[in-house]
Amino acid sequence: MRVLFACYPAHAHLLPLVTTAWGLQSAGHDVRVASFHGLSKTISAAGLIPVPLGDPDAIEARFLEDAGLPSGTDEIDRYAKALAIEPHERDAWDVFFQYMLLPCGDYLREDRQEAADLVAFARTWQPDLVIYDPTFPIAAIAAKACGAAQARFLLGPDIYAWSLDRLAAYRQQVLDAGLEENPLGSMIAPVAARLGVEMGDDLLYGHFSLDAVSPGLRMPTSAKTVPVRYVPFAGSAELPDWLYTKPERPRVAVSLGVSTRQAFTGSHVRDEADRLENALTFDMNPEVSRLSLLMEAVADLDIEVVATLSEGQLAGLPPLPANVRAVHYLPLPQLLATCSAVVYHGGIGTLAAATGAAVPQLIFDTGEAARVVVTVAEDGSVEYAMPDKKVEATWVSNFVIDRGAGERLNHKTQTVEEIRKLVQQVVENQSYRGGARALRDEWLATPGPNDIVPTLEVLAAHHRTR
């Protein structure tokens, strides 16, 4: 069968799909990967065939001057009240409304041609199955336009389906509050209509979803899912000789994730080469605070630290201790195979790599609310205060701690000495290694990308309409 993958144009959204695409390709199926044209080189480098979308001279939609920005707290609060959101549910709703709706809308704009390009390709190529990143809903429109089965590929806890379920359950309360019935549906519907596709729940939920999230991180939703093991892929590179020899003392990796190192000014970004050249173009490196504390804490420990940090992420830091080796890039799965622990930002991709390597984990997590605080000054200017953590960090750290595989590092409240003891504890205490192995056993028990191919064949035949 023909399988079309589609994703938002970012490494962090493409890489989780790669091993599943390989599984289908290895089984003899014809696979393509569609995204904004700037991601094409990265798709090709992963051994997959790209379908470039959009004007070759255009920049990514997220970096246009009029790109969407997080909504103010008043509107979020009104929704939360109408939806009867409990305090322990608040982060999930805020993340959906302030973070996830933004990329969903980037390629649903009337002045962008990516949606029309993808629908035209789907109608011509006629895929049997479309698998897509939920932040790229133009793929759902394309799937329905050509009669293909469609599946979302979940990159984290299914906050989308959880939020959509809540909006449906409290529909009347939302309308009574004078709010949009479904913010995501309201973005998708006009584009679908313009391209001759009828709006329906399939454009919101897909026919089913591939769930690559560990069971302990899943959310209760109405979505039909096919569990699949998140086999990490972080690109390829020539590995240094020192990575092939056993370290003389415990090795600890430090990673802040691919999405963090790809923050940049958007004016020059047209492809992935520009992404890497312009990584972290900030007036001030936002990582200085936590990295400075961590580097000071590990300086006196009898460990070797390998920090995968770009030049931008190193900017503003004091000289690194003698036991810290900074490298611009190493594929994380290969690095973690040599490590005794990993310190990271709490991202799902790094969690998958650490799980696969059975490595104890130390997660940067301040425990603060995930919401963006929006303040409007008297002169009309708007300020956005971001949380000093990755939005999923608290979910990830709670999960890892609950499984006995690691601890939380809060650089806002912990002293250098406390951080030093925490690193030493995670490296030396064998109970964390036991928890990490148990986590890997659970991961290995989940069907791998090759294992689910027969299921996908059956579901594609059942759901396609031609």
Residue carrying the six token digits 């002293």: 415
**Mean pLDDT within 164-170:** 98
Spatial contact of 69 and 103, defined as CB atoms under 8 Å apart: no
Could you tell me the CA-to-CA distances from 32 to 1, 116, 118, 454 in Å, in that order? Answer: 11, 17, 12, 19
| pLDDT per residue as tens digits for the range 249-292 | 999 999 988 765 554 333 334 444 444 433 333 334 557 789 99
**Mean pLDDT within 168-193:** 97
Domain boundaries, the chain: 2-229+447-463, 241-444
**Mean pLDDT within 197-202:** 97
Between 98 and 316, where is the model more confident? 98
Q: What confidence score (pLDDT) does residue 259 get?
A: 63
pLDDT of 73 strictly over 90: no
Q: What confidence score (pLDDT) does residue 298 get?
A: 97
- Do 2-229+447-463 and 241-444 come out as alike in CATH topology? yes
Spatial contact of 158 and 211, defined as CB atoms under 8 Å apart: yes
Give the chain's mean pLDDT.
92
Q: What confidence score (pLDDT) does residue 236 get?
A: 86
pLDDT of 111 strictly over 80: yes
- Is the pTM here over 0.85, yes or no? yes
**Mean pLDDT within 182-194:** 97
| pLDDT per residue as tens digits for the range 201-241 | 999 999 999 999 998 999 999 999 999 999 999 988 899 99
Sheet holding 251-255, edge to edge: 324-327, 304-308, 251-255, 341-344, 361-364, 406-409
H or E segment to which residue 324 belongs: strand 324-327
Return all residues near 97 (Cβ < 8 A) that are at least 6 apart: 71, 75, 76, 79, 163, 183
**Mean pLDDT within 382-394:** 89
pLDDT of 334 strictly over 70: yes
Q: What confidence score (pLDDT) does residue 90 get?
A: 95
Written as six digits, the tokens of 228 are: 């699949």
Q: What confidence score (pLDDT) does residue 260 get?
A: 56
Residue carrying the six token digits 């490296």: 427
Report percent pLDDT > 70 for the chain: 94
Q: What confidence score (pLDDT) does residue 262 get?
A: 53
Confidence of residue 385 (pLDDT cuts 50, 70, 90): confident
Burial letters for 108-128: b for 16+ Cβ neighbours within 10 Å, e otherwise? bbeebebbbbbbbbbeeeebb
**Mean pLDDT within 20-44:** 97
**Mean pLDDT within 23-46:** 97
pLDDT of 386 strictly over 50: yes
**Mean pLDDT within 2-27:** 97
Q: What confidence score (pLDDT) does residue 379 get?
A: 82
Q: What confidence score (pLDDT) does residue 105 get?
A: 96
What fold is seen in the domain 241-444? Answer: Rossmann fold (3.40.50)
The rounded distance, in Å, linking the Cα atoms of 432 and 358 is 10
Q: Tell me the CATH architecture of domain 2-229+447-463.
A: 3-Layer(aba) Sandwich (3.40)
Q: What confidence score (pLDDT) does residue 269 get?
A: 42
Confidence of residue 25 (pLDDT cuts 50, 70, 90): very high
Which of 208, 191, 204, 65 is CA-nearest to residue 150?
A: 208
